[in-house]
DNA sequence: ACACAAATTTAAGTTTACTTAAATTTGCAG
DNA sequence: CTGCAAATTTAAGTAAACTTAAATTTGTGT
């Protein structure tokens, strides 16, 4: 498979798991930074290869085959991220950039070796689940978005689901790291803003941030 | 730089360091598995980019800039080989295949991190020198080809300069590994065949093999 | 139910990295 | 120093992955 095919199915996959998010052709074009015409062409081509379900003017969806490919690319991406962080000591931001390139040129064999070396981790350092070789992905139903968390309750951070430098820098400099304890003070306008306490300091989070941080309710609180 | 540019300069570089080997356009085409027409096109293009010296009908050579690029690609290739062997435990044959893919998508930054992690190794597990970031490559003048070694003298294996599975399998199953001691029994037809003793067994090597194994004279023998 | 803006598709064209086949140049044998 | 084979270049064409611009389809508002 080529880089553009990998990226195409990966993008549709990511978009489709964001439950309410649509897979409109123009959304995919936007995420891939290509014209709609290019996306139409690619959709046709991959429909013919049995990776994408394509009907003119309809949203794009993956076939089982296509989803399998997407998960395999995601698997390699996340194994690299974990490896680059744990073994080579790159930062959370750096690992994303490098993994983005390496993922397309990693054999299944090598991916398996990395996984084994790491001791079969369930998630990346940002808390993202790593799909298994046969396309299984462990969905942690105990976690929810910070924007949907309940006021007055204490949670622990379980996943930082963003790869922008700004976002990761912001999280780190405010102590928002995997495992950190967060108390929800108040939700404003049903999640448009979320006020939290972390390390005794109060922060007001914009929904753009609270929508990509997952938390898990702490049992002993 | 694209994969084809990387591979083009890498191939010219490798060919030109094989002292007597020529860099005829058709030789390069052969090694890259493309037509002569494709090589002519690429040569023109890279001449314009200042990487290759190109004069119609003349052999291909690299500019300083081109050699720098070739060494940088080779550096990444060899760092990956060393890493995949030492850290992830792949075989000598497997590392070549994987490194061939990864080398083109590795940032200078990541290469540096790998180098650091490995403790700045001088050579790969096959004994090939690893170019430094600034394009320096340590040529070990104490080593020579097995086909040019002197009869009656004992050497140690210092480099296996081939990446074919057959070759590496042959070496391993006959104890020809880096550091192994070899006694030269006799050179036939000035290196066309080389008779050696290793681990007390006598082997007659064809020049194809003796021309890609480097040895170093042992001082205490 | 119809008009019209937004989304999508089609058409035509570009660049990169190739191909084959024909034309040209080189260098060597006699 | 001529003639010819081998090497190289030129010419023309292909496939992938894009682009912009024009044409078409969809769905929403009244």
- Identify whether B134 is part of a domain: no
- Identify whether B56 is part of a domain: yes
Model pLDDT, residue A102:
97
CATH of the domain at A179: 2.30.30.90
Q: Which nucleotide is nearest to A36 (CA to C1')?
A: C8
- Residues B12 and B65: beta-carbon distance below 8 Å: no
- How far is Cα B181 from Cα B157, in angstroms, rounded to an integer? 6
Q: Which of chain A's residues have a Cβ under 8 Å away from the Cβ of B91?
A: none
Examine the domain organization and report whether A157 and A180 are in the same domain. Answer: yes
Examine the domain organization and report whether A117 and A147 are in the same domain. Answer: no
Residue among B11, B20, B74, B17 nearest B43 (CA): B11
- Identify whether A69 is part of a domain: no
Examine the domain organization and report whether A158 and A208 are in the same domain. Answer: yes
CA gyration radius for chain A?
19
pLDDT-based confidence at A1, cuts 50/70/90?
A: confident
CATH of the domain at A41: 1.10.10.10
Model pLDDT, residue B219:
80
For residue A212, pLDDT over 60 is answered with yes
Which residue from A94, A105, A114 is facing B101, i.e. has the nearest CB? A105
Which residue in B80, B99, B110, B118 has the most chain A C-beta atoms within 10 A of its own C-beta, making it the best mutation to test that interface?
B110
For residue A7, pLDDT over 80 is answered with yes
Model pLDDT, residue B93:
95
- pLDDT tens digits, B74-107: 999 999 999 999 999 999 999 999 999 999 999 9
Average pLDDT value for residue range A179-199: 94
- How far is Cα B54 from Cα B104, in angstroms, rounded to an integer? 24
- Identify whether B42 is part of a domain: yes
Q: Which nucleotide is nearest to B57 (CA to C1')?
A: D8
For residue A221, pLDDT over 60 is answered with no
Examine the domain organization and report whether A120 and A154 are in the same domain. Answer: no
Domain that residue B152 falls in: 143-217
- Identify whether A73 is part of a domain: no
Model pLDDT, residue B19:
59
Distance A50 CA to D10 C1' (A): 41
Q: Where do the H-state alpha helices sit in A103-180?
A: 108-118, 165-173
How close B89 comes to chain A (CA, Å)? 8
Q: Which nucleotide is nearest to B2 (CA to C1')?
A: C16
Model pLDDT, residue B3:
95
Model pLDDT, residue B221:
53
Examine the domain organization and report whether A41 and A91 are in the same domain. Answer: no
Examine the domain organization and report whether A49 and A90 are in the same domain. Answer: no
Q: Which of B37, B62, B87 is the last residue of a domain?
A: B62
Q: Which string of b and e fits A130-144 if b means at least 16 CB within 10 Å?
A: bbeeeeeeeeeeebb
Model pLDDT, residue B1:
85
Model pLDDT, residue A19:
59
Task: Report the first-to-last Cα separation within chain A, whole angstroms.
Answer: 49
- pLDDT tens digits, A31-90: 999 999 999 999 999 999 999 999 999 999 999 999 999 999 999 999 999 999 999 999
Are B88 and A110 a contacting pair at CB < 8 A?
yes
- How far is Cα B216 from Cα B194, in angstroms, rounded to an integer? 16
pLDDT-based confidence at A112, cuts 50/70/90?
A: very high
Q: Does A192 touch chain B (CB under 8 A)?
A: no
Contacts by B96-100, CB closer than 8 A, 24 or more apart: B96/B163, B97/A107, B98/A106, B98/A107, B98/A110
Model pLDDT, residue A55:
95
Instruction: Quote the mean pLDDT of chain A.
Output: 95
Tell the residue number behind the tokens 């790491």, with chain if given: A118
- Identify whether B132 is part of a domain: no
Examine the domain organization and report whether A211 and A165 are in the same domain. Answer: yes
Average pLDDT value for residue range A171-179: 96
Are B107 and A90 a contacting pair at CB < 8 A?
no
Model pLDDT, residue B17:
87
Q: Which of A117, A139, A161 is the last residue of a domain?
A: A139
Model pLDDT, residue A74:
97
- Strand, helix or coil at A42? helix
Examine the domain organization and report whether A95 and A45 are in the same domain. Answer: no
- Beta-bridge partner residues of A194: A187, A205
Total structural domains within chain B: 2
Q: Does B98 touch chain A (CB under 8 A)?
A: yes
- Identify whether A174 is part of a domain: yes
Model pLDDT, residue B122:
97
Nucleotides of D under 7 A from a protein CB: 7-12, 16-21, 25-27
Q: Check the CA dihedral B38-B40-B45-B50 and report its sign.
A: positive
Q: Where do the H-state alpha helices sit in chain B?
A: 3-17, 25-32, 36-48, 64-86, 92-102, 108-118, 165-173, 207-210
Model pLDDT, residue B22:
81
Model pLDDT, residue A220:
64
Residues of chain B with pLDDT under 50: none
Which residues in window 40-99 of B are less than 7 A from strand C by Cβ? 41-42, 45, 56-57
Model pLDDT, residue B161:
96
- Identify whether A42 is part of a domain: yes
Examine the domain organization and report whether A134 and A164 are in the same domain. Answer: no
């Amino acid at each position: 498979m080529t880089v553009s095919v990998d990226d195409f199915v990966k993008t549709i996959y990511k978009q489709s798991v964001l439950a309410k998010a649509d897979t409109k052709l123009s959304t995919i074009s936007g995420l891939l930074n290509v014209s709609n015409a290019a996306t139409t062409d690619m959709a046709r081509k991959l429909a013919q290869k049995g990776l994408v379900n394509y009907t003119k003017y309809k949203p794009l969806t993956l076939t089982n085959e296509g989803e399998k490919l997407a998960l395999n690319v995601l698997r390699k991406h996340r194994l690299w991220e974990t490896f680059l962080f744990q073994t080579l000591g790159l930062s959370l931001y750096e690992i994303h950039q490098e993994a983005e390139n390496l993922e397309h040129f990693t054999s299944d064999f090598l991916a398996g070796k990395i996984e084994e070396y790491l001791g079969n981790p369930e998630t990346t350092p940002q808390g993202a689940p790593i799909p298994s070789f046969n396309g299984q992905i462990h969905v942690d139903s105990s976690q929810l978005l910070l924007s949907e968390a309940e006021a007055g309750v204490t949670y622990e951070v379980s996943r930082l689901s963003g790869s922008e430098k700004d976002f990761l820098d912001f999280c780190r400099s405010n102590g928002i790291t995997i495992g950190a304890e967060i108390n929800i003070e108040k939700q404003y306008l049903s999640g448009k803003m979320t006020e939290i306490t972390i390390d005794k300091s109060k922060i007001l989070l914009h929904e753009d941030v609270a929508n990509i941080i997952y938390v898990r309710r702490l049992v002993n609180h």
